[in-house]
Chains A and B, each alone.
Chain A
């Protein structure tokens, strides 16, 4: 087998059962099958079953780091467990060439009554450290965890952050050929998180290979060279990280069920005829217009337009009063338009919040939260993960 391919997943499928009682019964039958030498391979679904994974194929090469993204229940954890050898596939085959360590759950094997020191030893043994390795790395692990004097206290007394730091510290000092990391990078405080990222980067630099599962797009974009988007057990798209992430983000934004809100102070105000381009290229101009109808006498109308990315970060906010603009209402009506020659936003999905206020931005007459969505497309795939697409001037001397 090609020495540079560390993991070969070939048309792998996995069945699961929804109903608990039936699942247990199927378990008994599957065990019986196994003992009689019959293969677990199946192409059909029994009652109440569904495909957790269906004919998934991909390869992981040496030095690669692969990101696995997708909604909850898409099959990511199942895939990791199969690669790890924890469960058997229903179809296909997986070939693994090298040692694997999984950071799938932190603190496995911890017993709260024992001290931090003792639990390091346990967790280490479970994760596969030999006695020799454990002795060598013990002090390093203790130091990295930043637990301090608490290391000799029962783990029961630790805060959840300390627990996570300790568990992560044990896990991250293994040095396998392949690391499987599942959603565990969101631990500890900022300082610690940075330390952890650095450690992972070091590991990758030294030639380690990694499969990373995360919901944090930023983490995936910055740490992975390739990505796979898994949905309902099948690969929707695979390839270059940023492309896959962009596709996934757009999908997530479209099926976004985040509640959009529309609030009016009272029925003296109405905002209608909202218009804006739903999709633009990344160097196009962008505009947003709407009509105000009101019976109220608004003394100083203020309009605020904010643009958010899909995770809810406020990227751009413009308030008319700060831009020295006051809408003019004739007979209580006005058509307002705000225009950006260039939006400078990178490819992705965004939404707009609109607020109409009187005299002060907090004196809100109307608010539209998460009602207006648009997307920015790009002709070039991004090389870096950047929110903004600025165009600086380059020069060399």
Chain B
């Protein structure tokens, strides 16, 4: 059965590639698999420390740092998955150059397997979040189940973007730099460390418009609503996000397929 040109055999290959990538990442490291857990925790810890304690940021209308920290982590966790997924998928084709040159297989597999690589870190972050929620006392709610839709949706978004990024990177190697700069831009530009409400009143209307169209904001906000606010995500926002994902897939896949014939000559 073929969906979009991929069949069950390809799916198996995706899973294998994913496993191989993961194994490779932690192969040469001292603490090995422990790093997979430590890495996201360190990242979260660092930003929590800086914004939570050094800057003593707080949410408007709340007294404790803990609330802020929970709110922050609920946004950072999906962010980490995004950053890792996009970075890894950009490098996915170039990184497997020798494989491509010697074995025949559907190269679409590479960005697909790479885009999903951030999922471990995200789960670690979510796990931490759940613990904190239980400590704080607000606990979890049924809205948690929105994650069942949100997480796959986010992964699909990343895969779609991955098709573009991995293909372009083959020809323009500085894409990875552009990406890292863009990611940093989005990290600070998107209301992850601060809320839209904390922005100066003057620009709030404009910012609200702009952030609506920021897919990163949409997914982060959806996670937050489900986990922290205990609400349903904004349906309009989700629909927009889904639309973007679909477009990325349709155009991205076609783009990738068109270019993949030229990979070999450049790699």
Query: Is B142 an interface position by the 8 A CB rule?
Result: no
Q: Which residues of A have CB within 8 Å of B28?
A: 20, 24
Q: Which residues of A have CB within 8 Å of B32?
A: 21
Query: Is B30 an interface position by the 8 A CB rule?
Result: yes
Chain B 1-45, CB within 8 Å of chain A: the 1/0 string? Answer: 000000000000000000000000001101010000000000000
A1-57 with Cβ < 8 A to chain B: 20-21, 24-25
Q: Which residues of A have CB within 8 Å of B27?
A: 20
Interface residues of A (CB under 8 A from B): 20-21, 24-25, 156
Chain B 75-94, CB within 8 Å of chain A: the 1/0 string? Answer: 00000000000000000000
User: A388: shortest Cβ distance to chain B, in Å?
Assistant: 42
Once bound together, how far apart are the Cα atoms of A24 and B27, in whole Å?
A: 11
Once bound together, how far apart are the Cα atoms of A24 and B32, in whole Å?
A: 12
Q: Which residues of B have CB within 8 Å of A25?
A: 30
User: B50: shortest Cβ distance to chain A, in Å?
Assistant: 31
User: A17: shortest Cβ distance to chain B, in Å?
Assistant: 15
7 A/B residue pairs, CB under 8 Å, sorted by A: A20-B27, A20-B28, A21-B32, A24-B28, A24-B30, A25-B30, A156-B266
B247-266 with Cβ < 8 A to chain A: 266
Q: Which residues of A have CB within 8 Å of B30?
A: 24-25
Once bound together, how far apart are the Cα atoms of A129 and B231, in whole Å?
A: 71
User: B228: shortest Cβ distance to chain A, in Å?
Assistant: 41
Once bound together, how far apart are the Cα atoms of A267 and B219, in whole Å?
A: 73
User: B24: shortest Cβ distance to chain A, in Å?
Assistant: 13
User: B150: shortest Cβ distance to chain A, in Å?
Assistant: 38
User: B33: shortest Cβ distance to chain A, in Å?
Assistant: 12
User: B261: shortest Cβ distance to chain A, in Å?
Assistant: 17
User: B143: shortest Cβ distance to chain A, in Å?
Assistant: 44
Once bound together, how far apart are the Cα atoms of A233 and B30, in whole Å?
A: 30
Once bound together, how far apart are the Cα atoms of A156 and B265, in whole Å?
A: 8
Once bound together, how far apart are the Cα atoms of A24 and B266, in whole Å?
A: 35
User: A162: shortest Cβ distance to chain B, in Å?
Assistant: 16
Q: Which residues of B have CB within 8 Å of A20?
A: 27-28
Once bound together, how far apart are the Cα atoms of A21 and B28, in whole Å?
A: 8
User: A344: shortest Cβ distance to chain B, in Å?
Assistant: 45
Q: Which residues of B have CB within 8 Å of A21?
A: 32
Q: Which residues of A have CB within 8 Å of B266?
A: 156
Nearest chain-B residue to A113 (Cβ)?
B173
User: B31: shortest Cβ distance to chain A, in Å?
Assistant: 10
Once bound together, how far apart are the Cα atoms of A156 and B101, in whole Å?
A: 13
User: B126: shortest Cβ distance to chain A, in Å?
Assistant: 30
User: B266: shortest Cβ distance to chain A, in Å?
Assistant: 8
The 5 closest A-B pairs by CB, nearest first: A24-B30, A24-B28, A21-B32, A20-B27, A25-B30
User: B263: shortest Cβ distance to chain A, in Å?
Assistant: 13
Once bound together, how far apart are the Cα atoms of A20 and B30, in whole Å?
A: 11
Nearest chain-A residue to B28 (Cβ)?
A24
User: B28: shortest Cβ distance to chain A, in Å?
Assistant: 7
User: B159: shortest Cβ distance to chain A, in Å?
Assistant: 29
Once bound together, how far apart are the Cα atoms of A306 and B27, in whole Å?
A: 51
Once bound together, how far apart are the Cα atoms of A156 and B30, in whole Å?
A: 35
Nearest chain-B residue to A156 (Cβ)?
B266
User: A115: shortest Cβ distance to chain B, in Å?
Assistant: 16
Once bound together, how far apart are the Cα atoms of A367 and B32, in whole Å?
A: 54
Once bound together, how far apart are the Cα atoms of A156 and B28, in whole Å?
A: 29
User: A396: shortest Cβ distance to chain B, in Å?
Assistant: 61
User: A31: shortest Cβ distance to chain B, in Å?
Assistant: 14
Nearest chain-A residue to B267 (Cβ)?
A156
